Amino acid sequence: MWIGSDKTIQSDVGHVAWLDSERKNDWRYWRRYSEMLEGRMSWTAVDALDKSTDTILGLLEDPRREGPWDRRGLVVGHVQSGKTGSYTGLICKAADAGYKIVIVLAGLHNNLRSQTQMRLDEGFLGYETHPVAADIRAIGVGMIDKDPAIRPNYVTNRTDKGDFNATRAASLGISPEQRPWLFVVKKNKTVLNRLLRWMHDHVADAQEKETGRKIVTHLPLLLIDDEADHASVDTGEQLYDEDGIPDEEHQPTAINSAVRRILHGFTRSAYVGYTATPFANIFIHEQNETKLEGPDLFPSSFIVNLAAPSSYVGPAQVFGLMSPEGRTAGLPLYREVDDHASEDGKSGWMPHSHKNGHHPGAMPQSLQEAIDSFFLTLATRKLRGQGDDHASMLIHVTRFTSVQKAVHGQVEEYVKALKQRLSRRVGHEAAEAQMRRLWEKDFIPTSTIAREDFPVFGEIADLPAFAEVLEVLPDVIADTDVRMINGTAKDALDYADHSGKGLKVIAIGGDKLSRGLTLEGLCTSYFLRTSKMYDTLMQMGRWFGYRPGYIDLCRLYTTKELTEWFGHIADASEELREEFDLMAASGSTPREFGLKVQSHPVLMVTSRLKMRSAKSLMLSFSGQVVETISLFSDRDTLQRNYDAAARLIARLGAGEDDPVRVRGSSSQTWKGRLWKNVAPDEIVAFLTDYRTHSDAYKVNSRLLAEFVTAMNGTDELTDWTVAIVGGGQGQAYEIVPGLSVDMLVRRSNQAGRYAIGRLLSPRDEALDLSETAWDAALAATRDAWQADAARLKSREAPSQPSGPAIRRIRGEGSHGVPGNPKRALLLLYLLDPEQARPDMAGLPPVVAFGISFPASGSGVKVEYKVNNVAWNLEYGGAD
């Protein structure tokens, strides 16, 4: 196994470096936690966690430092990649260093709060927490170092009602003793305000002279915000005056207000948010501040991007990443579901927009197959020696509890009938034949591919013979529990209670499964939710994570549309991380990264638009690449777009045919024609004439034309390079007299639109760079590069510059090469309709374009608007 290095963007304003090896000599909390982990993980993984948590802790302040200080940071990990392990390690080290109060904000529901408490009982406290502390049962780290003198104090416990309550608040007093105190609380207005009142009444030791506000000066606070982009962000619109000063009378949303008031109540505090989807956090205005709450939760001190080990299975591993040759091959675990609803999506077992109280009809064949697949997996894992491990199946098809209940009844009935047939050997022939077909057509080929093509996930045992599987099937079915996940702590507790034998569960749920809750040993997922919010979909992807020794058995049953959106997510997340890597390498601050992300057109589809009743967003395309990958397939529109390109090329006249550029130690040739020093009016005219597809989630020709015009007002984007690039495998086509190009072949099997993968490659995007600029872009790419396995990165340094580095060199300059934000690149391509899809034969060439915009600090934006109804129809469904 190998692990890449974390990347950090930080601001050292007001920070005093303090953490060194000498300080760690007597750290007992961390020592016992790392010992516990070494029994479960490789030494490589524990060492990586040690380094990572050192980095994060070192970015906080020394808890022994006197005087007021406040550090706020964000840790971004991959979904289900071990963020809880990271903040448990951080808490252990923070307690060792001298932080006295540790508050963990753990989700919105009892089950997630309880699960988090249990993990911290095991990894930090060392004993089970119960309402009455009479009989202390040591667990986890408490079995390694049993000294009661270092046992941390707890306030909340692992039971369903173990949150911070009124009784506890009334009886609890904290003295500044050696041992730290742990609070694990829900993000709930009542609970947080109760904690705040208790803090004022029982912990505060001073008062602010101006306001009379009670404050804590003698105890340093560490506040961990799990799923920090959810509920903690202030979604109300704060007003600013003409100087950018925020309105001090602004009323933040309740949870955001309470969290900020808790932090503001300590003169020495550290806030660390953890999330896999940081979009909402980065959208927080850095200067949001009120008298009562203090500053907002923008991660002004640091943002850390955690790298994942090579054993991690995430979106890039399942869905691949897009390249000009198409999407890179992911693990073959996805199975398409298309029998859950009618063709128009309005009727059937689970229609797209069903209401509360919907009565599902007969269970679809795809769900039956998914359940059968889960049982085959359980049997195989048992035969592989993993029978005592937890194993789960997720069924996530509706947000409504009443509909979940109906599905639960259907699944329970199906499992009961299958168990009876196989165990009693009555009417078992059809069921066995069905299982055998699934084994032969699905399990055998998939396992072979996983073993041969994806060795990075470790050694996978050969499949047993089907006769052996059949023999243990009745037992594994009998051991399986079918249940609804409805938000109570019991759902989380069962995994701990079954730690010896392993819980086997089919979990049916909705939004309670969406965030943070870990389904241990998740093997099979049946997933039909239709939200297109990037962050919501990512959080619903509970199937990501670690699957040691059984990755070949895992399955994801979902719709074609959802796999397409997960592909968009994988691409957008990778683009954002590449930009982050570049900024980390160049010493940028969180504020500079925030400005970059806030205007990112890919991230239009995130919860920021849920924050307003009027849906509008100001976008900048600076430093971005846009490309048409959703195209029309009707004659009239294709002709219109072809004519727009032909008119532009005719106006440009003679240019450089088949341009040649020196790239490293060799030269590269492009087939086609290139024009330099093209006026922006020509570009605006082309974009105005061209029609982009409504399904293009990033490219809107009207908005692009507006953006170019707006940038021209600041004397940017005034000097364009235009190229038409051929050299494809399609037919030759003469677009204007004397200019013929070989059309590109991009196939599509989608009805209604012509959908392709990536259009541009970094090779084409660098066409206008000089040899010196290309070398500088490659150097910047290598500076920023890291071998993060979760991002399909190889362990070899790149030999071509990345898109973000190219755009940065073009606009801002780097490595001794000056930038020029006036320069931009428009690339035109002809796609061969004959080769695209059978029904497109005889149509005009499909004109596709890409624009590589230089990075710019001018801050010019254009407004993107969509009304509330249209937004909910297109992206809603998961509020």
Across 77-81, 234-238, 502-506, least confident range: 234-238
442 — phi, psi (to 5°)?
Answer: -120, -60
Among the listed residues 273, 318, 275, the one whose alpha carbon sits nearest the alpha carbon of residue 299: 273
Please give the Cα distance from 626 to 826 (Å, whole number).
10
Q: Are 98 and 64 in contact (CB under 8 A)?
A: yes
Structure tokens belonging to residue 27? 């750290």
Please give the Cα distance from 762 to 382 (Å, whole number).
47
**pLDDT band at residue 27 under the 50/70/90 scheme:** very high
Please give the Cα distance from 572 to 63 (Å, whole number).
38
CATH 3.40.50.300 in the chain is located at 23-305
Across 200-204, 217-221, 227-231, least confident range: 227-231
**pLDDT band at residue 245 under the 50/70/90 scheme:** low
Among the listed residues 699, 685, 703, the one whose alpha carbon sits nearest the alpha carbon of residue 646: 685
Please give the Cα distance from 222 to 90 (Å, whole number).
10
Tell me: the pLDDT tens digits for 718-751? 999 999 999 878 899 999 999 999 999 888 767 6
Please give the Cα distance from 834 to 746 (Å, whole number).
10
pLDDT tops 60 at residue 222 = yes
| β-bridge mates for residue 744, sequence order | 831
H/E stretch holding 429: helix 429-438
Across the range 198-211, mean pLDDT stands at 88
Task: State residue 730's pLDDT score.
Answer: 85
Across 153-157, 164-168, 195-199, 421-425, least confident range: 164-168
Among the listed residues 553, 140, 508, 544, the one whose alpha carbon sits nearest the alpha carbon of residue 386: 553
Q: Is 183 exposed, middle or buried (0-12, 13-18, 19+ CB in 10 A)?
A: buried
Task: State residue 870's pLDDT score.
Answer: 44
**pLDDT band at residue 611 under the 50/70/90 scheme:** very low
Please give the Cα distance from 290 to 530 (Å, whole number).
38
The CATH superfamily assigned to 23-305 is P-loop containing nucleotide triphosphate hydrolases (3.40.50.300)
298 vs 794: which has the higher pLDDT: 298
Structure tokens belonging to residue 71? 């550090």
Q: Is 652 exposed, middle or buried (0-12, 13-18, 19+ CB in 10 A)?
A: middle
Across the range 116-137, mean pLDDT stands at 87
Task: State residue 66's pLDDT score.
Answer: 94
Neighbour tally for 6: CB within 10 Å: 21
Across the range 308-323, mean pLDDT stands at 78
Q: Is 603 exposed, middle or buried (0-12, 13-18, 19+ CB in 10 A)?
A: buried
Tell me: the pLDDT tens digits for 266-276? 999 999 999 87
Task: State residue 324's pLDDT score.
Answer: 58
Among the listed residues 440, 434, 430, 433, the one whose alpha carbon sits nearest the alpha carbon of residue 463: 440
Instruction: Give the whole-number percent of the chain exceeding pLDDT 90.
Output: 47
Strand residues in 240-283 grouped as ranges (E)? 268-275
Q: Are 762 and 850 in contact (CB under 8 A)?
A: no
Amino acid, single-letter form, for residue 335: R
711 vs 174: which has the higher pLDDT: 711
**pLDDT band at residue 609 under the 50/70/90 scheme:** very low
Alpha-carbon Rg for the chain, nearest whole angstrom, is: 29
740 — phi, psi (to 5°)?
Answer: -120, 135
Across the range 122-143, mean pLDDT stands at 87
Instruction: Give the whole-number percent of the chain exceeding pLDDT 70.
Output: 84
Task: State residue 97's pLDDT score.
Answer: 97
Tell me: the pLDDT tens digits for 52-73? 999 999 999 999 999 999 999 9
Please give the Cα distance from 441 to 438 (Å, whole number).
5
Task: State residue 514's pLDDT score.
Answer: 53
Structure tokens belonging to residue 810? 């073009």
Tell me: the pLDDT tens digits for 781-839? 888 887 677 776 667 788 889 888 999 999 988 888 998 999 999 999 999 999 888 88
Across the range 164-184, mean pLDDT stands at 79
State the average pLDDT for the chain: 84
pLDDT tops 90 at residue 876 = no
Please give the Cα distance from 734 to 574 (Å, whole number).
37
Q: Are 632 and 831 in contact (CB under 8 A)?
A: no
Across 398-402, 528-532, 700-704, least confident range: 528-532
**pLDDT band at residue 224 under the 50/70/90 scheme:** very high
Residue labelled with tokens 């047993």: 464
Q: Which DSSP string do the residues of 194-212 spell out, in sequence order?
A: HHHHHIIIII--EE-TTT-
Residue labelled with tokens 């080929």: 445
Among the listed residues 566, 561, 560, the one whose alpha carbon sits nearest the alpha carbon of residue 336: 560
Across 322-331, 592-601, 853-862, least confident range: 592-601
Task: State residue 15's pLDDT score.
Answer: 96
pLDDT tops 80 at residue 877 = no
Q: Is 627 exposed, middle or buried (0-12, 13-18, 19+ CB in 10 A)?
A: buried
Across the range 156-180, mean pLDDT stands at 79
Tell me: the pLDDT tens digits for 351-380? 887 888 999 999 999 999 999 999 999 999
Residue 299 Cα distances to 280, 340, 398, 592, 608, angstroms: 11, 43, 34, 12, 17
**pLDDT band at residue 285 under the 50/70/90 scheme:** low
**pLDDT band at residue 871 under the 50/70/90 scheme:** very low
Neighbour tally for 696: CB within 10 Å: 17
Tell me: the pLDDT tens digits for 681-712? 999 999 999 999 877 766 889 889 999 999 99
Q: Are 525 and 556 in contact (CB under 8 A)?
A: yes
Q: Are 688 and 701 in contact (CB under 8 A)?
A: yes
pLDDT tops 80 at residue 246 = no
Task: State residue 604's pLDDT score.
Answer: 45
| β-bridge mates for residue 724, sequence order | 673, 828
Long-range contacts of 322-331 (CB under 8 A, 24+ apart): 322/567, 322/571, 322/757, 322/758, 323/757, 323/758, 323/761, 324/757, 324/758, 324/759, 324/760, 324/761, 325/757, 326/757, 327/567, 327/757, 328/792, 329/453, 331/450, 331/454, 331/551
Q: Is 666 exposed, middle or buried (0-12, 13-18, 19+ CB in 10 A)?
A: exposed
Structure tokens belonging to residue 737? 């007299």
Across 619-628, 824-833, 845-854, least confident range: 619-628
Task: State residue 807's pLDDT score.
Answer: 92
**pLDDT band at residue 429 under the 50/70/90 scheme:** very high
